[in-house]
Chain A
Amino acid sequence: MRDTFTETATALLDDDPRTALVLADISASSFAPAAGRHPDRVLNVGIREQLMVGVAGGLALTGLRPIVHSYATFAVDRVYEQLKLDLDHQGVGAVVVSVGASYDGSSMGRTHMSPGDVALLDTLTDWTVHVPGHPDEVPALLRAAANHDDRVYLRLSTATNDLPRPAAGRLMVVHRGTVGAPLVLAVGPMLDPVLHAVTGLDVTVAYTHTPRPFDAAGLRELVGTPSPAAPAVVLVEPYLAGTSSAEVSGALAGVPHRLLALGVGRTDLRRYGSPADHARWHGLDAPGLRRSISAFLD
């Protein structure tokens, strides 16, 4: 996904003079060719993330469309107040593109992990959040984001599904169970582990790469007219567990339902290892998901 982002952003910088890229050293070498062609619009401020977002706010105030890029923990966690004040409060936007989703940087330890990025953005105003599940979903999302002035977060991961589903801006049914079957919502790269986990279960699986704005209407439609038993909804997100619980609750206000929210745990595990190891430890690999979902539905 990171390479796809580099290629698409480089093309955007060539094609659209309104776009500008702001970096804080991360990925600067990948964008060296673009920087050579557009020295005024490819800006590497050094290891200065507060300035990275402040500069983006200033660029947007002059009418440009800034793309900000770093590790999630530096592009969101570290600069939370800059996102809040230099973008939201000024009434301007940017496209924030992160790598190092959740525990993608597990071998580098907790300092390079950011499972809480989407939850942090949920405290701010009108952020669109894209969590692509495949590299081929990235170009259209980035191009669309570059074409307006709103606030967009594009969360890139090394975890990917086998197949791209570019049209999944709203909830898209990937596997349909019987009428009234429990509903499993998979966000971004959680789809393939979910599909493996529910093999043989009577559930409907819906997918989206765009959890914000949350597709409340789509969820209500999928839940349909509640049967006598309260419908069961399972939310599987690749970031902090429960991040979208409030969205599901809001969408189903007045509809009796049961909700299981799965995602990354809050605890600093103080372990390195691979992203696959962390998926297992957080119960987000296929066997772990199977255990949680089966226990919930039993």
Chain B
Amino acid sequence: MTTTATAPDLMVTPATRNRRAGRPARLGPLLRRLTGDEKHAPSAHSTLDVLWVLYDRILRVSPETADSPDRDRFLLSKGHGPAAYYAVLAAKGFFPEDWLDDLAGPESRLGHHPDRTLVPGVEIGTGSLGHGLGLGVGTALGLRAQGLDLPRVYVLLGDAELDEGSNHEAIAYAGATGLATISAIVIDNQSASHGWPGGIASRFTVHGWTAHTVDGRNHDAIETALTSRRPDRPHVVVAVVEPKE
């Protein structure tokens, strides 16, 4: 793995923190309302723990501030399999929980890919992979141009999504220009067909990003990794979870 003194890829191991609490029990029933799946545990959703940590501990956004110019932006680039995203948004009150009962129905606002114009709290509509990071870079630049220094832009991607070349345009540009108000989170469930020899973090650090690789189920480790960043560089957290079944 490419690691330099100025762009470290720090492995924050589960052992660095020991608290694993935090994901509320009600997320399970919310997910079951969406999927009708009684068999799999909530942890079958690769993004669930990262999403919960973001909305519970990191993001400065709430249903009341969902349209505030000063809010943090969370952009779900990996728009497929958004059940965990919907469950977390419902749990946080962005929309009524009964919206979860008719996923992708003809009158439903919730589909198998989210549409920002239909769902409160959803910043971008995604599904086709490789669009979120470019939109996130533009969002960070737009906030900066308007003097909005407080908001941070978080973009969640998947390891297989990184196959799309458009991501690498955004990674290179954000790194080269030191766009320090953007954080990427890559959920790594080892689903990329040809893998990422040398690791995922190195794809970012070679362009000047700082990177942390963490246990994508350990809430404290995720929080620490998201907040341990430098003020002059974009930041990525690679959240490793179980390999995709």
Return the contact of B169 from the options A48, A56, A81 (Cβ within 8 A).
Answer: A48
Whole-angstrom CA separation of A66 from B123 in the bound complex: 18
Is B166's CB under 8 angstroms from A51's CB?
yes
B19 to chain A, nearest CB (A): 35
Inter-chain contacts of A62 with B (CB < 8 A): 69, 138-139, 142-143, 145-146, 148
A181 to chain B, nearest CB (A): 47
Inter-chain contacts of B144 with A (CB < 8 A): 40
Inter-chain contacts of B135 with A (CB < 8 A): 54-55, 57-58, 61, 86, 90
Q: Does A244 contact B (CB under 8 A)?
A: no
Inter-chain contacts of A43 with B (CB < 8 A): 141
Q: 1/0 contact trace for A82-105 toward B, CB 8 Å?
A: 100110011100000000000000
Inter-chain contacts of B117 with A (CB < 8 A): 91
Known contacts A43-B141, A62-B139, A90 near B124 by CB under 8 Å: yes
Is A58's CB under 8 angstroms from B169's CB?
no
Q: Does B108 contact A (CB under 8 A)?
A: no
Is B134's CB under 8 angstroms from A64's CB?
no
A42 to chain B, nearest CB (A): 10
Is A63's CB under 8 angstroms from B128's CB?
no
Known contacts A55-B137, A55-B138, A64-B146, A81 near B170 by CB under 8 Å: no
Known contacts A45-B169, A50-B169, A90-B124, A58 near B146 by CB under 8 Å: no
Q: Which residues of B in the span 103-141 have a Cβ within 8 Å of any Cβ on A?
A: 115-117, 123-126, 128, 130-131, 133-141
Known contacts A45-B173, A63-B69, A40 near B131 by CB under 8 Å: no
Most buried by A among B115, B131, B133, B165: B131
Whole-angstrom CA separation of A178 from B123 in the bound complex: 57
Whole-angstrom CA separation of A64 from B124 in the bound complex: 16
Is A82's CB under 8 angstroms from B134's CB?
yes
Is B138's CB under 8 angstroms from A63's CB?
no
Is A85's CB under 8 angstroms from B134's CB?
no
Range, interface on chain A: 20 to 34
B35 to chain A, nearest CB (A): 25
Inter-chain contacts of B170 with A (CB < 8 A): 51, 54
Closest 3 CB pairs of A and B: A58-B138, A54-B134, A62-B142
Inter-chain contacts of A66 with B (CB < 8 A): 138
Return the contact of A57 from the options B128, B138, B166, B169 (Cβ within 8 A).
Answer: B138
With CB as the reference atom, state the residue of chain B lying closest to A58: B138
A118 to chain B, nearest CB (A): 23
Inter-chain contacts of A218 with B (CB < 8 A): none
Is A46's CB under 8 angstroms from B142's CB?
no
Is A81's CB under 8 angstroms from B128's CB?
yes
Is A51's CB under 8 angstroms from B173's CB?
yes
Is A58's CB under 8 angstroms from B145's CB?
no
A238 to chain B, nearest CB (A): 31
Q: Does A59 contact B (CB under 8 A)?
A: yes
Inter-chain contacts of A154 with B (CB < 8 A): none
